[in-house]
Amino acid sequence: MAIRKIVTVGDAILEKTCRPVTDFNDRLFILLDDMRDTLSAAHGAGLAGPQVGVLRRVALVMIEDESYLEIINPEIISKEGEQEGLEGCLSVPGQYGTVVRPQKVTVRYQDRQGREHQREAEGFTARAFCHEIDHLDGHLYTELALDMMTEEELEAGEAK
């Protein structure tokens, strides 16, 4: 297990669509373990494959109990409601933006053994699922942001 370098905005890999995972093997397990170590060290709420330079449909998302859920080949199969909230991203350091996301989502995904699961999530967890799945499709939250602000502006209560 290792901490991987997090790719930041400006790197073209963040704009690419990831390929599905088809082999559920030791290479995948190492990637997932490394992503967990990387995310934990960065104190983040989620991390997707392209953020560590891997164009595969793999992500980790912080769930309600503050543990990380591994989601492989995830897809949002239903959305309900609307919430507006602040988002940041390990790949966009020092920046935050207000983004509108669904209040509730249902996500279908596979675990590291390839077994299919379905999970409903609301609030922050729904936001995290959407944010990470966007990464897998080559999109950053900044594309959806109603406004952007730096960490200093956030602390001062300003938006630009």
Residues carrying an active site annotation: 132
Please give, one letter per residue, the 3-state secondary structure of 77-146.
EEEECCEEEEEEECCEEEEEEEEEECCEEEEEEECCCCCEEEEEEEHHHHHHHHHHHHHHCCCCHHHCCC
8 Å CB contact between 32 and 58: yes
- Size of the chain in residues: 160
8 Å CB contact between 130 and 76: yes
Could you say which DSSP state residue 26 is in? H
Distance CA 58, CA 151 (A): 28
